[in-house]
Amino acid sequence: MTPSREIIKRGRSASVATAGSGGLLPERELRAIIDDVLRLAEPTDANETEVHVDEVDDSLTRFANNAIHQNVAERGLTVSIRTVVDGRTARATTNRIDEDSLRAAIESSLSLAHSQPKDPRLLPMPGKQKYRLVNRFAEPTAALTPEDRARAVKRACDLAIDEGQVAAGIFASGMSQSAMGNSRGLFAAYRETHAEFSITMQESPAASWAKANACNVRDFDPQKLAATASDKAHRALNAQELAPGKYTVILEPSAVLDVVGFLFYDFSATALADKRSCLNDRMGKPIFGKNISVTDDAYHALQLGAPFDGEGIPREKVVLVQNGVPKNLVYSRASAKAAKKKPTGHGFMLPNEYGEAPMNLVFNGGNDSIEKMIASTDRGLLVTRLWYIREVDPYEKIMTGMTRDGLFLVEKGKLTGAVKNFRFNQSLLDMLKNVEMMSPAIRGTGEEAFEMVVPAMKVRDFNFSEVTKF
C-alpha cells in the first residue's frame, strides 16, 4: 500500500505544545485522514471501521496573587479508530498521522477487538446521515492572543489592587474540531471556538467569584465579571454564623447548574435499563413542580457542541421534562433498538458502559430577576455557587456539597449581610418541587457540571445540615 500524498505532506507527528497561536486544519485534511484510515483498514479482517479525528488549539492564562503565574498553549490532533470483527469491537487512538502509525493503530484496534467477547447489542455502523448546520466558530475568539488575555487579566488585577483585594483566575480561549467517518459512508464534521473567564476576588477572610463561558469572547466582559466578584467579596466580609436548617434560597444560575447537572445522566435509556436511574418507576409522573420544563437542544443559540453524537447520529431536540413530568429519555442506537424507539443522537463513542446522556440542557426559566426574588423574600439566603457536590442517595437524588464564594442573608426583601458557608444535603427531586420563582435562563457555567442554559431559582426549604468555619 502506498502512502497518500496528504499523509506525506502532513509529516510524522500531529501533537505539539506551543507558546504561540495557530489554526485548525481545513476540513478536507481531516476527511483525508479518515479516508486514509479506511483505505488502510480495507485489506484487514475488519468487517467495519470507524474513525474519529479530533483537533484542539487551546490556550490558557492563569493568574493568582494579582499576577499571571501560568500561560500555556496546546495544539494537538488525535485519530481514534474503532474496528469491528465478527461482532466484537474495540478502539485504539494515536496522535501520529504518518501511515505506519495509522496502520499500527488499526492493528491495535483489531488486536483488542479479537480479544473482546462478542457484543450482542452491537449494531452495524450507520450509513450517511444529514445534519443541521450550526455556526459556532467566532473569529474574535479564534483571533484572541496571549497579549489580549494578559491585558484583560491586568485590568482585573488592577481593580483588585485598587480595592485592596487579591485576584485569581483564568482566561482561556481556543478552538477545536471533530470529524468522523466510517466504512459505510458516514461523514460528519464540526468546529467551534470557546472562551472562558473565571475570577475569584479575595478580601481576607472573604472571597467571591464570577465566571462566564461562550463561543464568542465578545459575549462576556471580563472587567464586569471582575467588578461583580470584587463587590461581592467586599460584601462577604464579617460573615455571621447561622444555625443549620431549612432555608429559602435564591440560587444564582451557577449554583443551580452545578447541582442539577447531576440529575440528567438519569435521562439515559441505558441508565433506566440498568436500573441505576432515579427515573425508574417515575417516568410520566409529576415528580417536579409544574413550572419545571427542560429540553435537550443542541441547536439552541446559547449552546455549544456538535450536531451529531459519538456514532454520527444527528442530535434531536428532546423534551425531557414538561411541566414537572419527565416525558422522554435520550437514546443511543443500541438502547433505542432495545426499547423499540428511534435513536435521538445522544450516544457516546463506542465502546462505552454508559450508553448516552443529554448534553445540551435548556431550562424554560421564568421572568423574575434575582433582585425581584430578593425583594419577595422575608428571610432567606442568596447563594453564589455550590461546591464539591457528590451524590449521597442515587434514587432519592440526595446531593451533598458546600456553599462557596459568597453566601448572603436576605431579610425583609433586602440583603443584610454575609453568612458563613453551609453544607447541604438536599434531594434534587424535592428541590425541583419547591421552585417558587425563576429568572430568564442564561448560558450558565460552573465547575461541577457542564454548561447549560439555566435560570436563577428561588427555592423553599433547602436543607442545610452543617456550618463550616468561614
The binding site for another protein (CB under 8 A) comprises: 15, 17, 58, 60, 62, 64-65, 69-70, 72, 74, 76, 166, 168-170, 172, 198-200, 202, 207, 209, 387-393, 398, 400-402, 404-405, 421, 423, 425, 447, 463, 465-470
User: Could you say which DSSP state residue 47 is in?
Assistant: S
Residue nearer to another protein on the CB measure, 430 or 436? 430
* In the complex, minimum distance from the CB of residue 262 to another protein, in angstroms, rounded to a whole number: 11
Shortest distance, position 256 Cβ to another protein, whole Å: 18
User: Shortest distance, CB of residue 21 to another protein, whole angstroms?
Assistant: 17
Cα(393)–Cα(414) distance, integer angstroms: 35
Closer to another protein by CB, 97 or 172: give it: 172
- Residue with smaller CB distance to another protein, 5 or 469: 469
| Torsion sign over Cα 457, 461, 466, 470 | positive
Q: Could you tell me what percentage of the chain is helix, strand and coil, using 3-state DSSP and rounding each to the nearest 5?
A: 25, 40, 35
Q: Which CA distances in Å does 176 have to 77, 148, 236? A: 10, 20, 38
Instruction: Quote the cell numbers at residue 346.
Output: 445522544
Residue 468 backbone dihedrals phi, psi, to 5 degrees: -100, -170
Nearest C-alpha neighbor of 456 from the set 295, 260, 317, 321? 260
Q: To the nearest whole angstrom, how small is the minimum distance from the Cβ of residue 168 to another protein?
A: 4
Q: Measured between alpha carbons, how far is 345 from 357 in angstroms, rounded to an integer? A: 9
> Which residues are CB-neighbours of 450 under 8 A, at least 6 positions away?
261, 359
- Residue 319 or residue 398: which is nearer to another protein going by CB? 398
CB of 428 to another protein, least distance (A): 14
Least spacing, CB of residue 195 vs another protein, in Å: 14
Which of 161, 176, 171, 158 has the alpha carbon at shortest distance from 63? 171
Strands, E, within 86-147: which ranges? 88-94
Give min distance, CB of 290 to another protein, in A: 24
Least distance in angstroms from the C-beta of 387 to another protein: 6
Rounded distance between C-alpha atoms, residue 89 and residue 105, angstroms: 14
Task: Pick the closer one to another protein by CB: 210 or 250.
Answer: 210
Integer distance in angstroms from the first to the last C-alpha of the chain?
A: 67
Q: Which stretches does DSSP call E strand in 86-149? A: 88-94
Q: Is 20 exposed, middle or buried (0-12, 13-18, 19+ CB in 10 A)?
A: exposed
Between residues 321 and 389, which has the closer beta carbon with respect to another protein? Answer: 389
Number of other residues whose CB lies within 10 A of the CB of residue 391: 12
| Shortest separation between residue 368's beta carbon and another protein, angstroms | 29
By beta-carbon proximity to another protein, the closer residue of 183 and 200 is: 200
Q: What is the 3-state secondary structure (H, E, C) of 250-280?
A: EECHHHHHHHHHHHHHHHEHHHHHCCCCCCC
We find the least distance from the C-beta atom of residue 65 to another protein, in angstroms, to be 5
Nearest to 299 by CA among 341, 359, 245: 359
The three cell numbers locating residue 113:
477487538
Which DSSP helix (H) or strand (E) runs through 189?
strand 187-203
Q: Which is nearer to another protein, 15 or 44 (CB)?
A: 15
Nearer to another protein, 182 or 208 (CB): 208
Centre a 10 Å sphere on the Cβ of residue 172 and count the other Cβ atoms it contains: 19
139 three-class SS: helix
Nearer Cβ to another protein (13/323): 13
To another protein, the closest distance from the beta carbon of 332 in angstroms equals: 25
Our CB check for another protein shows the closer of 35 and 221 to be 221
3-state secondary structure at position 182: strand
